[in-house]
Structure 1
Amino acid sequence: MRVLLSAYDSRGGVEPLAALAVRLRELGAEVRVCAPPDEEFAKRLAGVGVEAVPTGRSVRDLVTGRTPPSPGGLPRRAADLVAAFHENVTAAAEGCDVLLATGLVPAVAGVKSVAEKLGIRYVYASYQPVSLPSPHHPPMPRPGRPLPPGVTDNRILWDRDARDAQDVFGDAVNTHRVSVGLPPVDNVRDHVFTDRPWLAADPLLAPWEQPADLDVVQTGAWVLPDDRPLPADLTAFLDAGAPPVYVGFGSIPLQDPEEVTRAAVEAVRARGRRAVLSRGWADLDATDDRDDCFVVGEVNHQALFRRVAAVVHHGGAGTTTTATLAGAPQVVVPQGADQPYFAGRVAGLGIGAAHDGPVPTARSLSAALETALAPETRERATAAAGAFRTDGAAVAARLLLDAVG
């Protein structure tokens, strides 16, 4: 059996595909992954022996502004993504039995068109419930299209979201579909999601609520155990004192990273703790030369989070999942997209605190850390880790194999 997995996403969206690919290989499948050409993605996939097919532009360059805006803006980028993923997936899908896609809608639409052209089974997967239409939650606002104020009926908001998606991506998707001999679609969002999407998220951390219009298959989160050792100098820092507080914003660029770093370090010190700062795409760095702060780049977060007092982060699906599985109390400072949802879940489960707003001050972050560092929060975080399902990738791999019989 041959499987092609595809994502145009940040590190948190590519990492789960590595987990699924490894489980599929254990069941005897051949696997390829179409992913952005960013070096860190390719390195991670190569590290677990998964063949990567670089597709589209660098996500990091796009997110951090290193890619200059094109004259056509978002519609031009959407058209480029549809075409790039259709072309690369077509070339990589020879002999494949199933295609699984996640990430941005235009990239997924390119994969879906390949599945239609080649007659291959297609599955869409999401890492968070709030991206899927449901009467129980509103959609995430799309860039430049805030949710209308005063509207509380979620079904109305999801209908509006479908129209917004069609307005933003419809021309790019349909122009390409017609060019390859496929009919246009009038609801690109539901076209790529299908009526039976998968939800690759832990049922405790991110449950799918019933009743709902979609027949969602919740597999559990796709987590690959990471046995890479921590760097020797980081281990020495951890061993030299009480567990520090981790601060990192992953693939999120910050408007003023220096100010956020100062606020975070001051808040951590106010609680009598040391800090581990993760550079990430915001390029965080130490604000002074005191020895109570340690700056890290790419490291094994599974191992690191088990050794910290708390994790301060942006609330992406990947980081929230890793921190929850590690039993680490959390402070979520959401910046947008699905992050307010995960902030609410962390607070609702009592395994940490949700910061009010995307820009922390030393005072606001210190108050949130007071909650996260409380013994009862640690107890609940430990219990949540014990209840976390670790078989999500194995469940999904078996479902894919069973689907093609």
Structure 2
Amino acid sequence: MEDQPPRYSMLEAAGWPDDCWSQDGANVNDDGRVEVDLDSKVCRTVAKLIPFSHAERPPPSTQDPTEPSTCDIQLNIVIQVVGSRGDVQPFIALGNELQLHGHRVRLATHGVFESFVLASGLEFYPIGGDPTELMAYMVKNPGLIPQMKSLRDGEIQRKRAMVAEMLQGCWKSCIDDDPVSKTPFVADAIIANPPSFAHIHCAQTLSIPLHLMFTMPWSSTRAFPHPLANLKYSTTEPKIANYISYGVVEWMTWQGLGDVINEWRASLDLEPIPVTEGPCLAETLKVPFTYCWSPSLMSKPSDWPSNIDVCGFFFRSLPDYKPPPDLDLFLRSGSAPVYIGFGSIVIEDPVAMTNMILQAVKLLGIRAIISRGWSNIGEASSDDRFFYLDDCPHEWLFQHVAAVVHHGGAGTTACGLRFGRSTTIIPFFGDQLFWGNIVASCGLGPRPIPYRSLTSTNLAEAIHFCLQPEAQYAAREVANRMSHEKGVSTAVASFHRNLPVNTMQCHALPSEPAVWQFKKSSKSPLYLSKVAAEVLIDHRRLKPSDIQPYQVKPLYIENRRWDPVTGTASSLIGTSTDVLKATGDIVYRPYQEFNRIPKSSSEVDLPESSAARSRSVASTAEVPSLSDSSMKPPSKMRATGAAMEGSAKSMGKVVGYWYKGMLVDMPLAVSEGLRAVPRLYGDEVKDHGTIHDWKSGATFAGKNFVHGMADGFSDIFTQPYKGGQEEGAKGVIKGIAKGTLGITTKVSSAALGLVAYPAHGMMKSLYTATHSKTRKRILQARVQEGKWLAEHSSKGLENRQIILRNFEAACRKPEEIARPQSS
């Protein structure tokens, strides 16, 4: 019997019907977008779980993203990028700009781009994953919901395995030595595009700054919907619908990959992320975001906060390129051709695409350069009307063509507009339709044609549109405006501006980032870099035991509760799920172990002659025959022992999950839910910090008790008075209701929290103490890099006296710690 396709989402595992998205909530259109019906039951349910910002316009930022911002600290920066060459190329330009500021830059991406990255002067680290396979998958499944054929063919499982491989590769890129030079490297900051998925978790593990950069909108806004969502609604206000679409897309993405990410997090000694928190982590944690498109095409939405910038396209320097003779001859032998190519896209039927392109070009009677790309479209040889191109820098080529036709990748789109070329976009998936619509809305080309709808006729019409004077003029005007933008340098300034420079500077060598702290008798600790700590230890100013790891930018992922009902329900469901899974493992784990017993000939009696030959092999000791009955029991005994051990561990987990759920998680969920109730009627909920160990748990409980008791009893009087001042008698009635609710919820949370929060803190401390493998690996890597810097680099060899002098001065005068000396 044919195997059933695997469950794709956590919603299904939780009891949602298999077709809940495809029939009620979302359908995949031909253009690759997901049609999201916000009136459906599924989307209405998910929308309730999406935190909604009520502020139409955030407080104005005091920073202008175009203003220069410097950073005197030289960092190890890893840039993590998943995607095609067009996704990688902008980050090469960014990396080169970061190098000009003294940073050491490693670009971590797919192995196929190794020579491309190394030729640019950046360090390279392979994260795994095959972008060709990824592109082919995305062409077949352009939306977020996979086609049934892909499910049955096992493509989803292969893609999930590839994601798991890339997650681990991204982590290794943060702490592994350089693959070529073997030079030690530990990241001090991470820059990433969102599809790399590992960024937040790597930053949390290392406690270092993270900055996301991308070519399409990924942050919730009322201005326009998510580029991957085609909204359908009747009762939802349009701006709210736009905002919710981002959360819906994030939720759908997390349902497919959340378990993969949590399994990988466990290997890093990180706790699993709750299903309610995973989809919107970047926004919840207020991770800085820089968008790499021209503000002259689309300005920053007014409801994006100050940690989000729109900086312009990332352009690298024009290459010193000399065309091959045949290309040079073709360009000089007639009118300017039209460029047609789809870059890294893997097309299902390249022959049919080639015939369609040739017919469209013949209909117009023009010349064309056809890029073969990863699909190898085109015919065997060129002629006077068609030139089949294998590889050529777009920055050089687009200066010599009349118009461009491509898939709509951000890099290719930007390059065409940079040189004032009108553009036709044939989107396949992702942000390509988004860029096609932007180009069309600015009059720079026709409306995008999804590749499944492409014909030779509409392709010819689209190219004809691009060759009209109006489109050509509009493209030149945009190119003129873009020539005044400096996207790469502006993005670097945005990155520097969002760094916690004041808290990450080494006090002994101000040009280096701190990773250690030395706690003296004074109140303020002394922060030290890798090389400074090693120099000081080498000169016996410090002992290794004198320093402790320093968390530059700690990230805490909390399981937020919105009210006591849903909080308690979700906690109960989570505990029940863990208990049921562990209960099933009591039986399933022994079954797995017994299945591992080999069914080979090693378990079958061998002939006597074979046994005799086995015994004759050894000359000094007798080797027992494989047919001896004494050789078979150990294998089965080991399996039996492993089965019993696995069963016992699972039984222990059942007990542990139950007690943890009943004694810690449930009281915590109720207390947090009660504490959050005032937010439901517009009141502010005090922030008492985060709980990450038993001390912070006890501190949180104390603050919550004091404020909860004080505010709860005072609300009886203050809420009616405040309501009367604002709305008169009606406000007094509302105030009485709020005061009554406040004294119930705040006082209850305060009392219950005296037990719940310290218990939660103790569980955090226990988890940290029992999961230290990754932490030790990080410390070892930082010590190793510090030794290498002290012995081989100019930072250690030339700055020893500066390090010693600044350290001694800071130890003599504690007030100088805030103002370290420099040479």
Q: Which of 10, 14, 20 is the matching residue for 2:94?
A: 20
Q: Please tell me whether Structure 1 or Structure 2 has the larger radius of gyration of its CA atoms.
A: 2
Within a 5 Å distance, the mapping from 1:360-379 to structure 2 comes to 360-379=454-473
Given that 1:70 and 1:76 are in contact with CA atoms closer than 8 Å, whether structure 2 keeps it comes out as no
Q: Quick check: 1:172 aligned with 2:267?
A: no
Q: Which of 122, 126, 136 is the matching residue for 1:54?
A: 126
The superposition leaves residues 118-161 of structure 1 with CA deviations (integer Å, 9 ceiling, x where unpaired) of 221111111112x33222222244xxxx7675476223322322
Distance 1:348 1:260 in 2: 27
Q: Which of 468, 473, 476 is the matching residue for 1:382?
A: 476
Question: Secondary structure, in 3 states, of the residue corresponding to 1:352?
Answer: coil
Distance 1:155 1:173 in 2: 25
In the TM superposition, residue 31 of structure 1 has moved relative to its aligned partner by 1.0
Match of 1:396 in 2: 491
In the TM superposition, residue 222 of structure 1 has moved relative to its aligned partner by 1.2
Within a 5 Å distance, the mapping from 1:215-230 to structure 2 comes to 215-229=307-321, 230=323
Question: Secondary structure, in 3 states, of the residue corresponding to 1:8?
Answer: coil
Match of 1:240 in 2: 333
Match of 1:128 in 2: 216
Distance 1:363 1:209 in 2: 37
Q: Quick check: 1:348 aligned with 2:441?
A: yes
**Hey, which of these two has a bigger chunk of strand by percent?**
1
Please list every run of 5 or more consecutive structure 2 residues that lacks an aligned counterpart in the other structure: 1-73, 138-152, 178-183, 502-823
Q: Which of 184, 190, 203 is the matching residue for 2:280?
A: 190
* Residue identity opposite 1:343 in structure 2: G
Given that 2:247 and 2:280 are in contact with CA atoms closer than 8 Å, whether structure 1 keeps it comes out as no
Question: Normalized against structure 2, the TM-score is what?
Answer: 0.45
Q: Quick check: 1:77 aligned with 2:168?
A: no
Question: Secondary structure, in 3 states, of the residue corresponding to 1:52?
Answer: strand
* Residue identity opposite 2:197 in structure 1: V
In the TM superposition, residue 54 of structure 1 has moved relative to its aligned partner by 1.2
Q: How many residues align?
A: 393
Question: Secondary structure, in 3 states, of the residue corresponding to 2:165?
Answer: helix
* Residue identity opposite 2:211 in structure 1: V
Match of 2:422 in 1: 329
Alignment CA distance shift 1:265-1:207 (3 Å): farther
Match of 1:139 in 2: 226
Distance 2:307 2:194 in 1: 20
Alignment CA distance shift 1:345-1:76 (3 Å): same
Given that 2:132 and 2:346 are in contact with CA atoms closer than 8 Å, whether structure 1 keeps it comes out as no
Moved more, 210-219 or 28-37: 210-219
Q: Quick check: 1:315 aligned with 2:315?
A: no
Q: Which of 182, 185, 189 is the matching residue for 1:98?
A: 189
Moved more, 54-63 or 297-306: 54-63
In the TM superposition, residue 190 of structure 1 has moved relative to its aligned partner by 2.4
Distance 1:210 1:374 in 2: 35
Given that 1:128 and 1:206 are in contact with CA atoms closer than 8 Å, whether structure 2 keeps it comes out as no
Match of 1:108 in 2: 197
In the TM superposition, residue 37 of structure 1 has moved relative to its aligned partner by 0.5
In the TM superposition, residue 377 of structure 1 has moved relative to its aligned partner by 1.1
Match of 1:43 in 2: 115
Match of 1:207 in 2: 299
Question: Secondary structure, in 3 states, of the residue corresponding to 1:100?
Answer: strand
Q: Quick check: 1:273 aligned with 2:358?
A: no
Distance 1:341 1:91 in 2: 37
Moved more, 312-321 or 258-267: 258-267
Given that 1:333 and 1:354 are in contact with CA atoms closer than 8 Å, whether structure 2 keeps it comes out as no
Alignment CA distance shift 1:71-1:126 (3 Å): closer
Distance 2:489 2:342 in 1: 29
The superposition leaves residues 262-311 of structure 1 with CA deviations (integer Å, 9 ceiling, x where unpaired) of 22222223222111010112211127764311111221101111111110
* Residue identity opposite 2:167 in structure 1: V
Please list every run of 5 or more consecutive structure 1 residues that lacks an aligned counterpart in the other structure: none
* Residue identity opposite 1:245 in structure 2: V
In the TM superposition, residue 3 of structure 1 has moved relative to its aligned partner by 1.5
Match of 2:394 in 1: 301
Given that 1:165 and 1:188 are in contact with CA atoms closer than 8 Å, whether structure 2 keeps it comes out as no
Given that 2:220 and 2:244 are in contact with CA atoms closer than 8 Å, whether structure 1 keeps it comes out as no
Distance 1:322 1:69 in 2: 37
Moved more, 205-214 or 228-237: 205-214
In the TM superposition, residue 396 of structure 1 has moved relative to its aligned partner by 1.9
Match of 2:106 in 1: 32
Question: Normalized against structure 1, the TM-score is what?
Answer: 0.89
Question: Secondary structure, in 3 states, of the residue corresponding to 1:72?
Answer: helix
Match of 1:5 in 2: 79
Distance 1:170 1:318 in 2: 29
Moved more, 395-404 or 316-325: 395-404
In the TM superposition, residue 71 of structure 1 has moved relative to its aligned partner by 7.8
The superposition leaves residues 181-235 of structure 1 with CA deviations (integer Å, 9 ceiling, x where unpaired) of 2232233342246533211211123433222468421122111022232333212
Distance 2:194 2:209 in 1: 18
Distance 2:261 2:251 in 1: 14
Given that 1:286 and 1:294 are in contact with CA atoms closer than 8 Å, whether structure 2 keeps it comes out as no
In the TM superposition, residue 321 of structure 1 has moved relative to its aligned partner by 0.6
Moved more, 344-353 or 228-237: 228-237
In the TM superposition, residue 95 of structure 1 has moved relative to its aligned partner by 4.2
Moved more, 195-204 or 276-285: 195-204
Alignment CA distance shift 1:71-1:280 (3 Å): closer
Question: Secondary structure, in 3 states, of the residue corresponding to 1:99?
Answer: strand
Within a 5 Å distance, the mapping from 1:249-268 to structure 2 comes to 249-268=342-361
* Residue identity opposite 1:238 in structure 2: L
Distance 1:300 1:381 in 2: 20
**Hey, which of these two has a bigger chunk of helix by percent?**
2
Moved more, 294-303 or 86-95: 86-95
Moved more, 307-316 or 111-120: 111-120
Given that 1:219 and 1:396 are in contact with CA atoms closer than 8 Å, whether structure 2 keeps it comes out as yes
In the TM superposition, residue 103 of structure 1 has moved relative to its aligned partner by 4.6
The superposition leaves residues 370-390 of structure 1 with CA deviations (integer Å, 9 ceiling, x where unpaired) of 210001211111111111154
Question: Secondary structure, in 3 states, of the residue corresponding to 1:353?
Answer: coil
Question: Secondary structure, in 3 states, of the residue corresponding to 2:197?
Answer: helix
Distance 1:315 1:295 in 2: 20
Given that 2:440 and 2:448 are in contact with CA atoms closer than 8 Å, whether structure 1 keeps it comes out as no
Question: Secondary structure, in 3 states, of the residue corresponding to 1:395?
Answer: helix
* Residue identity opposite 2:295 in structure 1: P
> Highest relative contact order (Cα 8 Å, sep 6+), 1 or 2?
1
